[in-house]
């Protein structure tokens, strides 16, 4: 009887623990993304009707059956995002009964951005005048309503719908419309809810639009430039990391005119130092081993020569681009499509987390450039679906990660599917000794490029704040209120801490997403897409997004958990200050982190300064930016936040105690040190026992 009672009590205890754990997770309503019905929202979306029509793509004069088959294929091959599901299910149900006129109208609709179509159909944004009262959009709206259980089932990623963020990110004041745009009577090109309307392609090598000083062409006829539509200039200043060039122009590299058109329409003006060094060598089909800082244009340095060598008339995979993460694969494929949009090159991206069936169907047709992660590429090559026997170009971005012990066995197997006379190009910001072993074994006298005169970016200012673990959330809240943040990325060392911190940031009233490796791929894609478009101001993530991810709007990186090694630290802070722009990196350092801080400073050859009383806006905000507009908590949470605030103790700012060679013992009870300039005081910590589990 006693044993039976003990078992019953144990079961009840476990059940109560599970219940408390579930209640501490993200609260989800029956519909986490409800459709808005308030007049305020409808009024706020009125500006979406001002979006100009996209540039129409050339359409072949094809029969009706061929047109219908092409539209069905284009609608179904997109992916697993909600916008893709809308078009895919609509194609399944409706395209077979459409007339030729309706099919051509649907073909024009596919030129619009996927998410714009989605928001028009779900009512979250008002459609532009050209689609406002069309029968096609009404059919799509009805379809979205009928298929709502599939399409509307989105993850509650940020604990609130990001479309209704109470504090939309403003565009920087340094952006000025060109005279041709200002004089035009046409309305603005994008709604106010979009961040950085002047940078539709936000990538690691985004540059100002071509100016009159760079209109010289390799040929005598330069009239082809008059028909281009480059984005408006980005007038923010840039550092010598991207401006210290030798004066080489893109027209001097003997590139195809179609490729030059894509380069200039993407907003390029002049090549960066890594592009200036790598592109001419890569065009000679010589192996390249290139090392350059984060955010200096490495992606374009291998994409441009890769596209130049592709023969469109040859229906074979002619270039394989390998990257370590799925988000980076999506970003790289988008860069390839943008730069090669006038060349007719077919680019395919394949990663884990998606169905293998879709990849097999897409590879049954012509694919010239294949972008993906090693595991999925090896799977397709091993099954004989992806034929790499005639693939002359092999590129590894973030090569140090791809050659680590995690990917080493996969890489060795994958190389066996490539031809022996392949061209190999390796790009990264850090090259450990394992790269030398790969170079000696698989590369033929590579041309080595090293532009790392210093490891850290010149435009990124680094500070640390010495706090206790229980004060980190309050310190983060203080930073939010004192800094002028365009967008920020906050790094944690574990997936559990990512979710808990994102929940706490949202409770404080700030718009926030989170992302980590244990999320579904469709959820990660949605977070990456929306954060990149400025829907939310803050992103809490693990080291999943430390490599290669380029979001031009990010000007502040916060290491909520200090990294364990210098390589991770270097890639984290490289998410700000992209392409020579200004950025700020703030590290929350505890007493236990002081050894890692000292070690990273020694390995990187840099000094991380204590955070000052006031941080000069000129260090991380472009000149002529608007006045400081801090993130504002939601009105319903302001009162709760005021109750949590307590007066700060008077204290003197103290630097982190540096470990010495003669004294490495840690004090069991370190003296508390606070930063009075940040007004840090004891406050509810991230691990509040009443709402969530304590950190391990």
What's the mean pLDDT in 150-171? 34
- The residue among 450, 483, 500 that closes a domain is 450
* pLDDT, tens digit (0-9, with 9 covering 90-100), for 117-139: 877 777 777 888 777 778 888 88
Confidence band for 341, pLDDT divided at 50, 70 and 90: confident
**pLDDT confidence of residue 151:** 40
Range in 344-358, 541-555, 586-600 with the lowest mean pLDDT: 541-555
Reported in sequence order, the residue ranges of 272-350 that DSSP labels E, i.e. its strands, are: 288-291, 319-322, 347-350
How far, rounded to the nearest angstrom, does the alpha carbon of residue 180 sit from its chain's CA centroid? 31
Angstrom CA distances, 222 to 212, 225, 257, 266, 453, stand at 12, 6, 10, 18, 38
Instruction: Say which residue, 17 or 603, is predicted with more confidence.
Output: 603
Whether the predicted pLDDT of 424 surpasses 70: yes
Q: Is 192 contained in some domain? A: no
Whether the predicted pLDDT of 614 surpasses 90: no
What's the mean pLDDT in 269-296? 86
Assess whether 411 and 464 both reside in one domain: no
CATH number at residue 645: 3.40.50.300
Q: Which two tokens stand for residue 376?
A: 């999925």
641 touches 476 (CB < 8 A): no
Highest mean pLDDT among 155-159, 220-224, 437-441: 437-441
Whether the predicted pLDDT of 664 surpasses 90: no
* pLDDT, tens digit (0-9, with 9 covering 90-100), for 521-555: 788 888 888 888 888 889 998 887 667 566 777 88
**pLDDT confidence of residue 160:** 30
C-alpha to C-alpha distance for 602 and 398, rounded to whole angstroms? 23
Please report the DSSP string for 85-128 in residue order.
HHHHHHHHHHGGG--HHHHHHHHHHTTS-HHHHHHHHHTSSPPP
What's the mean pLDDT in 373-383? 91
Assess whether 531 and 430 both reside in one domain: no
Assess whether 340 and 388 both reside in one domain: yes
523 touches 648 (CB < 8 A): no
Instruction: Say which residue, 281 or 460, is predicted with more confidence.
Output: 281
Q: Which two tokens stand for residue 123?
A: 């009512």
pLDDT more than 70, % of the chain: 62
Instruction: Say which residue, 2 or 319, is predicted with more confidence.
Output: 319
Whether the predicted pLDDT of 183 surpasses 70: no
Assess whether 537 and 650 both reside in one domain: yes
Q: Is 191 contained in some domain? A: no
Confidence band for 270, pLDDT divided at 50, 70 and 90: confident
Q: Is 213 contained in some domain? A: yes
Whether the predicted pLDDT of 167 surpasses 90: no
642 touches 618 (CB < 8 A): no
Q: Is 283 contained in some domain? A: yes
What's the mean pLDDT in 624-628? 51
C-alpha to C-alpha distance for 367 and 317, rounded to whole angstroms? 6
What are the residues whose beta carbons fall under 8 Å from the beta carbon of 232, sequence distance 6 or more?
A: 175, 176, 177, 178, 181, 198, 209
**pLDDT confidence of residue 661:** 37
Highest mean pLDDT among 93-97, 380-384, 481-485, 665-669: 380-384
Q: Is 21 contained in some domain? A: no
Assess whether 149 and 271 both reside in one domain: no
**pLDDT confidence of residue 97:** 79
Identify the CA nearest to 485 among candidates 536, 541, 415. Answer: 536
What's the mean pLDDT in 425-454? 82
C-alpha to C-alpha distance for 298 and 278, rounded to whole angstroms? 9
Q: Which two tokens stand for residue 321?
A: 């681009």
CATH number at residue 103: 1.10.150.250
Number of domains in the chain: 3
**pLDDT confidence of residue 232:** 65
Assess whether 438 and 481 both reside in one domain: no
Angstrom CA distances, 403 to 277, 349, 411, 412, 429, stand at 24, 21, 7, 10, 13
Residue 534 Ramachandran class (φ > 0 left, ψ -120 to 50 alpha, else beta): left
What is the span of the domain harbouring residue 649?
Answer: 460-678
What's the mean pLDDT in 426-444? 83
Assess whether 420 and 474 both reside in one domain: no
Confidence band for 659, pLDDT divided at 50, 70 and 90: very low
Q: Is 685 contained in some domain? A: no
**pLDDT confidence of residue 154:** 34
What's the mean pLDDT in 14-27? 44
Highest mean pLDDT among 149-158, 213-222, 492-501, 626-635: 492-501
Assess whether 290 and 361 both reside in one domain: yes
Assess whether 204 and 272 both reside in one domain: yes
**pLDDT confidence of residue 132:** 75
Q: Is 230 contained in some domain? A: yes
Assess whether 117 and 233 both reside in one domain: no
Q: What's the whole-model pTM score?
A: 0.51
- The residue among 450, 468, 487 that closes a domain is 450
Torsion of CA 90, 93, 97, 102, to 10 degrees: 0
**pLDDT confidence of residue 165:** 32
Range in 286-295, 539-548, 579-588, 615-624 with the lowest mean pLDDT: 615-624
Q: Are strands 319-322 and 288-291 parallel, antiparallel or unpaired?
A: unpaired
Instruction: Say which residue, 652 or 302, is predicted with more confidence.
Output: 302
Confidence band for 689, pLDDT divided at 50, 70 and 90: very low
Q: Is 32 contained in some domain? A: no
What's the mean pLDDT in 331-345? 90
Assess whether 381 and 525 both reside in one domain: no
Assess whether 603 and 662 both reside in one domain: yes
- The residue among 411, 427, 450 that closes a domain is 450
Whether the predicted pLDDT of 338 surpasses 50: yes
């Amino acid at each position: 009887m006693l044993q039976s009672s003990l078992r019953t009590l144990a079961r009840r205890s476990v059940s109560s623990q599970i219940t408390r754990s579930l209640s501490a997770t993200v609260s989800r309503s029956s519909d986490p993304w409800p459709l808005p019905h308030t007049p305020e929202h409808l009024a706020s979306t009125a500006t979406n009707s001002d979006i100009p029509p996209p540039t129409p793509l050339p359409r072949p004069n094809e029969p009706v059956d061929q047109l219908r088959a092409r539209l069905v294929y284009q609608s179904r091959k997109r992916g697993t995002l909600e916008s893709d599901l809308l078009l895919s299910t609509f194609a399944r149900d409706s395209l077979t009964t459409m007339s030729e006129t309706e099919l051509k109208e649907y073909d024009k609709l596919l030129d619009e951005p996927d998410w714009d179509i989605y928001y028009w159909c779900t009512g979250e944004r008002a459609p532009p005048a050209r689609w406002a009262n069309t029968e096609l959009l009404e059919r799509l709206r009805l379809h979205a309503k009928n298929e709502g259980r599939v399409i509307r089932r989105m993850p509650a990623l940020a604990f609130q719908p990001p479309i209704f963020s109470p504090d939309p990110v403003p565009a920087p004041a340094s952006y000025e419309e060109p005279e041709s745009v200002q004089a035009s009577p046409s309305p603005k090109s994008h709604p106010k809810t979009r961040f950085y309307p002047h940078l539709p392609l936000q990538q690691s090598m985004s540059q100002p639009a071509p100016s009159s000083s760079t209109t010289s062409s390799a040929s005598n006829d330069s009239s082809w430039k008059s028909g281009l539509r480059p984005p408006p200039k980005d007038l923010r200043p840039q550092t010598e990391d991207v401006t210290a060039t030798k004066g080489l122009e893109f027209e001097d590299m003997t590139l195809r005119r179609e490729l030059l058109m894509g380069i200039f329409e993407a907003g390029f003006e002049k090549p960066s130092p890594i592009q200036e060094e790598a592109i001419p060598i890569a065009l000679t089909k010589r192996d390249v081993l290139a090392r350059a800082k984060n955010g200096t244009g490495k992606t374009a340095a291998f994409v441009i020569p890769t596209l130049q060598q592709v023969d469109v008339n040859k229906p074979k995979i002619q270039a394989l681009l390998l990257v370590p993460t799925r988000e980076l694969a999506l970003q790289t494929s988008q860069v390839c499509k943008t730069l090669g949009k006038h060349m007719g090159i077919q680019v395919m991206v394949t990663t884990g987390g998606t169905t293998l069936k879709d990849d097999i169907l897409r590879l049954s047709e012509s694919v010239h450039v294949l972008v993906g992660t090693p595991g999925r590429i090896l799977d397709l090559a091993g099954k004989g679906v992806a034929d790499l026997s005639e693939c002359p170009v092999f590129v590894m971005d973030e090569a140090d990660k791809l050659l680590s012990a995690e990917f080493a066995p996969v890489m060795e197997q994958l190389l066996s599917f490539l031809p022996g006379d392949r061209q190999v190009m390796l790009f990264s910001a850090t090259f450990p000794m394992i790269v030398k072993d790969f170079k000696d074994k698989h590369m033929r006298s590579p041309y080595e490029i090293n532009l790392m005169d210093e490891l850290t970016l010149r435009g990124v200012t680094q500070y640390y704040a010495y706090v206790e673990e229980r004060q980190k959330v309050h310190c983060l809240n203080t930073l939010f209120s004192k800094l002028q943040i365009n967008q920020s990325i906050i790094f944690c060392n574990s997936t559990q801490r990512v979710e808990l911190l994102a929940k706490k940031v949202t409770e404080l009233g700030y718009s926030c997403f989170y992302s980590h490796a244990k999320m579904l791929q469709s959820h990660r894609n949605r977070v990456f897409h929306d954060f990149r478009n400025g829907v939310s101001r803050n992103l809490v993530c693990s080291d999943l997004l430390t490599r290669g991810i380029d979001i031009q709007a990010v000007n502040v990186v916060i290491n909520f958990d200090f990294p364990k090694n210098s390589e991770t630290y270097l890639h984290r802070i490289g998410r700000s200050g992209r392409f020579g722009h200004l950025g700020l990196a703030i590290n929350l350092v505890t007493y236990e982190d002081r050894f890692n801080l000292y070690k990273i400073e020694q390995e990187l050859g840099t000094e991380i300064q204590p955070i000052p009383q006031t941080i000069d806006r000129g260090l991380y905000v472009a000149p002529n930016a608007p006045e400081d507009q801090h993130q504002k908590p939601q009105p319903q949470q302001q009162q709760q936040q005021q109750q949590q605030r307590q007066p700060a103790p008077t204290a003197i700012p103290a630097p982190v105690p540096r470990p010495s060679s003669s004294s490495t013992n840690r004090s069991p009870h370190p003296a508390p040190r606070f930063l009075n300039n940040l007004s840090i005081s004891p406050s509810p910590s991230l691990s509040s026992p009443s709402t969530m589990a304590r950190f391990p």
